[in-house]
Amino acid sequence: MTSTLPPPERAGLARARISARTLRTDRWWVAPLLTTLGLTAFLVYGLVRALQQDHYWAADHGYLTPFYSPCIAAQCAPEAAHFGRLPFEFPWWLPYAAISLPFLLLFRFTCYYYRKAYYRSIWQAPTACAVREPHKRYTGESRFPMIGQNLHRYFFYIALVISVVNTYDAVLALFHGEQGGFGIGLGNLVLLGNVVLLWCYTLSCHSCRHVFGGRVNSFGRSPVRYWLWTQITRLNTRHMTFAWITLATLVITDLYVALVASGTVSDPRIFN
């Protein structure tokens, strides 16, 4: 049998010994810096608001912020608890939406885009392409705990359910007109816009692309899954864009609801 072994490597050859961390002359550090600032700003804002336990529900217009959805603590306003309340009160350190926030955080933490973002900007593995990373050893996602990134699809399934809950909240808010019944205010548009973009982010997920069609080997024999895969792929090419836009819309939506709920601003009505 003919051996398929490769020829022995040339002995004594060494890599180019270049001491500089990188020879890049462009501003490669700008993108990781902006990413770090953006992610930190969102996490700080989200933590403060989730623990505030106030100004989450604008009763006059039925606006519930997504940071408190579903509101399940015993302290939740009864009308804000669309899916009922637990019989005990939450301590100050437990968000009212404790049933959804951890999974949404894990969905984004294990998201293929956010992984790239924080591996580069925070973990610096690598900070930028062709820039030497500072770590002595590297095992990536091959060992515990980072091997857990492979659970992304399960957090995606949960995120799908939570997106339905957010949609329900936004639709329910449409039936809180000033005279009762159907009505539209600026807050409704903010809530609906946020929900649409959350769906875009969730459905553009790489796991979604795989589950709905990517796992199939023969598109020719699965035309429906091929069509689904094609549509999700169109969204998937903008996954990074949706990842950042939804961070912004979540903050804008929450801030708007907080301002209306606290009476700082009044909600301009478009219809009823």
Partner 1 sequence: MTKRTFNVWRGDGGAGALAAYEVEVNEGEVVLDVLHRLQATQAPDLAVRWNCKAGKCGSCSMEINGRPRLACMARMSTFAPDEAVTVTPMRTFPVIRDLVCDVSYNYQKAREIPSFTPPPDAKPGDFRMRQADVQRMQEFRKCIECFLCQNVCHVIRDHEENKESFSGPRFLMRVAELEMHPEDTADRRAIAQDEFGLGYCNITKCCTEVCPENIKITDNALIPLKERVADRKYDPLVWLGSRIGLRKGADTPLPPNTRTTTATPEQ
**25 is a site residue for partner 1 (CB under 8 A):** yes
Q: Which residues pair with 272 in a beta bridge?
A: none
Least distance to partner 1, CB of residue 118, Å: 10
Q: Which helix (H) or strand (E) holds 156?
A: helix 152-172
**224 is a site residue for partner 1 (CB under 8 A):** no
Question: What is the x/- site pattern for partner 1, positions 233-272, by CB under 8 A?
Answer: ---xx-----------------------------------
Candidates 179, 217, 224, 268; binder of partner 1 (CB under 8 A) is 217
Of 76-115, binders to partner 1 (CB under 8 A) are: 112, 115
**27 is a site residue for partner 1 (CB under 8 A):** no
| Contact predicate 62/79, CB 8 Å | yes
Residues sharing a CB contact under 8 Å with residue 32, sequence separation 6 or more, in sequence order: 120, 121, 124, 127, 128
Cα–Cα distance, 233 to 218 (Å, whole number): 16
Least distance to partner 1, CB of residue 103, Å: 17
- The residue whose two tokens read 């979540």 is 250
**35 is a site residue for partner 1 (CB under 8 A):** no
Least distance to partner 1, CB of residue 129, Å: 4
Of the listed pieces 39-47, 98-106, 149-157, 252-260, which binds partner 1 according to CB under 8 A?
Answer: 149-157
Amino acid at 183: G
Class of residue 249 by CB neighbours under 10 A (exposed 0-12, middle 13-18, buried 19+): buried
Cα–Cα distance, 28 to 98 (Å, whole number): 38
Least distance to partner 1, CB of residue 233, Å: 9
**7 is a site residue for partner 1 (CB under 8 A):** yes
Cα–Cα distance, 68 to 116 (Å, whole number): 28
Helices 239-261 and 30-52: angle between axes, nearest 10 degrees: 30
3-state secondary structure (DSSP) of residue 271: strand
Candidates 62, 66, 126, 183; binder of partner 1 (CB under 8 A) is 126
Q: Nearer to partner 1 by C-beta: 23 or 48? A: 23
Candidates 214, 241, 251, 259; binder of partner 1 (CB under 8 A) is 214
Classify residue 146 by its DSSP letter: G
Least distance to partner 1, CB of residue 231, Å: 14
- The residue whose two tokens read 């930190």 is 40
- Residues near partner 1 (CB under 8 A): 1, 3-7, 9-10, 13-18, 22-26, 112, 115-116, 119-120, 125-126, 129-130, 132-133, 135, 137-143, 146-147, 150-153, 206-207, 209-210, 214-215, 217-221, 226, 236-237
